Amino acid sequence: MFAAWEGAGGKRFLFHEKPESLSLAVGETTVLTYDRAGRPYAAFLKGRNYRRGLDNRVLEKWSEVQAGRKVRRRRWLSPAEAEHFLDRLRGLVQEVQADLGRGPVRALQGPEDWRERVQAGLATLLRYDGARLEEERQRYRQIYGSVSILPPDQYRAVVVQATEGCHWNRCIFCDLYRDRPFRIRSREEFRAHVQEVKSFLGAGLTLRKSIFLGDANALIVAQASLRAFFSILEEEFGLLPPHLSGPERAAWRAAHPEGMEGVYAFIDAFSPQRKAVEDFAELRQRGLRRVYVGLETGHAPLLRWLNKPGCPEDLGALIVRLKEAGLQVGVILLVGAGGEAFAAGHVADSVALVNRLPLDEGDLVYLSELVEPPHGEYSRQMAADHLTPLSPEQMRLQREALRSGLQGPSDRRGPKVTTYDLREFVY
Ligand code: SF4
């Protein structure tokens, strides 16, 4: 349902009720978006974008021009600022509600009963007051602990944790899972966890179209357990079968409003549980769609220096097996790793390795800027080895060198090369 109207003061309003979300636009400069349960999800206010995570944190993003170049900026609101911000959104919705109740208004577009339907929609947007959002935050913590990271194309996935943490946890540039020991959930625990996630998201589940199997490398779990986990996902959500034609997919979606379009996960190349092409092909049949591999670099000395086990060629061989199994792949390269001393080798060997891989237009190459973790291991190692980090400008140039090296010949329909900014992750 879509409705547009003009309020008493001449201001224009739009309300859009979609299967996955509800949105309200006030004038030209304000758009608020909610999930179907009524949780604030995103907002655009006076040129700035805001994203609220399920943990109730709020990220603010905007652009600035610096030395003639557009620069992206971001910051996390403090808890007090986030609370104030979410109150402000409620206040805005209440004002629209009052304005609509008072009239007179001029309907511009919408069904005959638009006013009643918009009022019902606005009541949904007011379901989550401060106390309820705080309860949500606590429930989120109890269900997930935390969700450390997702690839950008999966920010709107439903995260379910088959494992917790990372079984290696010692790469010097990464602190994503240092707060928890690695463990694999039992099948019973996994089913209970999935059911809790579903009940937590409730009507908000429709905002999410895919499942992300966390945490860092859930696909290292033994194949028999993965088979059981995928069966649980199929039973609890319904997974879009592969190989459906366009009209069949549309019919399946209509019949399965909570159904998910596939399962996505990270994997590493150095676990002892090495999977064969047949194992990956079986998981593909069960709903696995894309697997993300933290290659970081094609330059073996740099990978060693980063304390990541294995070698780039092992990671390349893993990606080849994933492709042979018919899966899509997301390859992550770490921009700026190792600073100036490693820069030339990092760019040359990464471009050479990735360009040798059988990637196609369904695959992604993410250029992820190194963000020094607060535990300090990366910066201590840089200092100990007398290495100089890249300046922001050198970082930009390295990103561009990787990007242009990965373009490939113009007749090749290669992977999409795009950026991955850890600092913009919100679940
Ligand atoms: S980069 Fe990957 S393998 Fe290394 S510690 Fe982080 S999650 Fe684990």
Tell whether ligand 1 has an atom less than 6 A from the beta carbon of residue 168: yes
Q: What is the mean pLDDT of the chain?
A: 94
Does residue 353 contact residue 316 with C-beta atoms inside 8 Å?
yes
Give the nearest ligand 1 atom to 167 CA: 8
Q: Work out the percent of the chain whose per-residue pLDDT is above 90.
A: 87
The stretch 233-248 carries a mean pLDDT of: 92
Give me the pLDDT at residue 257, please: 80
Give me the pLDDT at residue 102, please: 84
Asked whether the predicted pLDDT for residue 211 surpasses 70, the reply is: yes
Structure tokens at 216: 């860092």
> Residue with structure tokens 């935390």?
146
Give the nearest ligand 1 atom to 216 CA: 7
Which residue has a Cα nearest atom 4 of ligand 1? 171
* Structure confidence by residue, pLDDT tens digits, 403-418: 999 986 666 678 999 9
Tell whether ligand 1 has an atom less than 6 A from the beta carbon of residue 60: no
* Structure confidence by residue, pLDDT tens digits, 379-400: 999 999 999 999 999 999 999 9
Fill in the DSSP letter of residue 88: H
Give me the pLDDT at residue 116, please: 94
Q: How confident is the model at residue 362 (pLDDT cuts 50, 70, 90)?
A: very high
The stretch 84-109 carries a mean pLDDT of: 92
Give the nearest ligand 1 atom to 175 CA: 6
The stretch 131-147 carries a mean pLDDT of: 95
Q: What is the CA radius of gyration of the chain?
A: 23
Asked whether the predicted pLDDT for residue 31 surpasses 70, the reply is: yes
The stretch 278-288 carries a mean pLDDT of: 96
The stretch 139-154 carries a mean pLDDT of: 96
Which residue has a Cα nearest atom 8 of ligand 1? 169
* Structure confidence by residue, pLDDT tens digits, 215-234: 998 999 999 999 999 999 99
Asked whether the predicted pLDDT for residue 67 surpasses 90, the reply is: no
> Residue with structure tokens 């996960």?
265
Tell whether ligand 1 has an atom less than 6 A from the beta carbon of residue 177: yes
* Structure confidence by residue, pLDDT tens digits, 174-191: 999 999 999 999 999 999
Does residue 198 contact residue 166 with C-beta atoms inside 8 Å?
no
Q: How confident is the model at residue 66 (pLDDT cuts 50, 70, 90)?
A: confident
Q: Is the alpha carbon torsion for 192, 196, 202, 208 positive or negative?
A: negative
3-state helix, strand and coil shares in percent for the chain, rounded to the nearest 5: 40, 25, 35
Give me the pLDDT at residue 408, please: 65
* Rounded distance between C-alpha atoms, residue 149 and residue 116, angstroms: 40
Give me the pLDDT at residue 103, please: 73
Tell whether ligand 1 has an atom less than 6 A from the beta carbon of residue 216: yes
Q: How confident is the model at residue 199 (pLDDT cuts 50, 70, 90)?
A: very high
* Centre of ligand 1 from the C-alpha of residue 171, in Å: 6
Does residue 85 contact residue 58 with C-beta atoms inside 8 Å?
yes
| Alpha helices in 32-129, H assignment, sequence order | 79-102, 114-125
Does residue 342 contact residue 305 with C-beta atoms inside 8 Å?
yes
- Phi and psi dihedrals of 365, rounded to 5? -120, 120
Q: How confident is the model at residue 272 (pLDDT cuts 50, 70, 90)?
A: low
Give me the pLDDT at residue 410, please: 63
SS3 288: strand
Give the nearest ligand 1 atom to 296 CA: 1
* Rounded distance between C-alpha atoms, residue 1 and residue 331, angstroms: 39
Does residue 40 contact residue 146 with C-beta atoms inside 8 Å?
no
